[in-house]
Amino acid sequence: MTDAPAELVHLDVADGIATITLDSPHNRNALSRQLVTELVGHLATADAADDVRVVVLRSSGRVFCSGADLSEASTVPMQEGARAIVALQRQIVASAKPVVTVVEGAARAGGIGIVAASDVVVVADDATFALTEVKLGLTPAVISLTVFPRLTPRGLAWTALGGEVFSGAEAASYGLATFAVPAADLRARVDDVVGKLATGAAQGLRETKRLLAADLLERIDTHGEELVELSARLFGSDEAREAMTAFLTRKKG
């Protein structure tokens, strides 16, 4: 009998706050099938709990999420992984409870989709973000469902076309993050934000979230599948394979 794999996502509930922690440091919290399954389960548990007023999503280490787990790419069909990221974004947007996401270090690719799907985002000034897909012959297809509506038009055009790393402070100026603070002040600011949200009445929070989420949910439901197919088509293209091979070669060099 084999031991069950160690849990990669933890749920703790205290004083009306559900804290969900990504804890898969070996692959920089990549969106593996196990991690996504556990995250989806904990989000559902928190959403259904009458004693939970606010959900906090964070990571155990500095890296929040590195995006898709490329080590599973050969065993998981590309469309399946992309659909899972669409569904995860939708679940966060549709949650009846406010979701506060905290980024201390790095967020990339699908991790940025999680950030954009959240209601309130608190980041360290020196946290880092990047939409690097353009450099790999790709486009931020499925995460565009939440990322594109959040960012200012100029901030979006630069980050999506430039593919360069941008800071937490810039993420706030572009509209991706709500607040950016010095790393030393991050915990205190999160506690303050969560405390204020938790003063909302359950019905008020639920109905306000429903209004806030309506347009984003319609966008996800209308365009999700076509963007899954676009993602799969680009990943399978010769140009993208060549660009990704060159990128990995440079990283090893």
pLDDT digits (tens, 9 = 90+) for 23-78: 999 999 999 999 999 999 999 999 999 999 999 999 998 999 998 887 776 677 88
Residue 1 confidence (pLDDT) above 60: no
Tokens of 161: 């076309």
Three-state secondary structure call for residue 13: strand
Please state which of the four CATH numbers 3.90.550.10, 3.90.226.10, 3.40.50.1100, 3.30.465.10 is assigned to the domain occupying 9-182: 3.90.226.10
pLDDT score recorded for residue 68 = 82
Least confident interval from 21-30, 62-71, 128-137, 172-181: 62-71
The residue with tokens 């055009």 is 157
pLDDT score recorded for residue 78 = 83
Strand partners, 129: 107, 166
Average pLDDT of the residues in 126-138? 94
Residue 253 confidence (pLDDT) above 70: no
| Burial classification of residue 3, based on how many CB atoms lie within 10 Å of its CB (0-12 exposed, 13-18 middle, 19 or more buried) | exposed
pLDDT score recorded for residue 208 = 98
Mean pLDDT of the chain: 93
Q: pLDDT band for position 198 (50/70/90)?
A: very high
Least confident interval from 22-26, 95-99, 120-124, 157-161: 22-26
% the chain with pLDDT above 90: 83
CA 76 to chain centre: 20
Which residues lie below 8 Å from residue 253, measured CB to CB, with a gap of 6+? none
**Nearest residue to 121 (alpha-carbon basis) of 175, 52, 41, 40:** 175
pLDDT score recorded for residue 248 = 67
The residue with tokens 């898969």 is 24
Residue 182 confidence (pLDDT) above 90: yes
pLDDT score recorded for residue 74 = 66
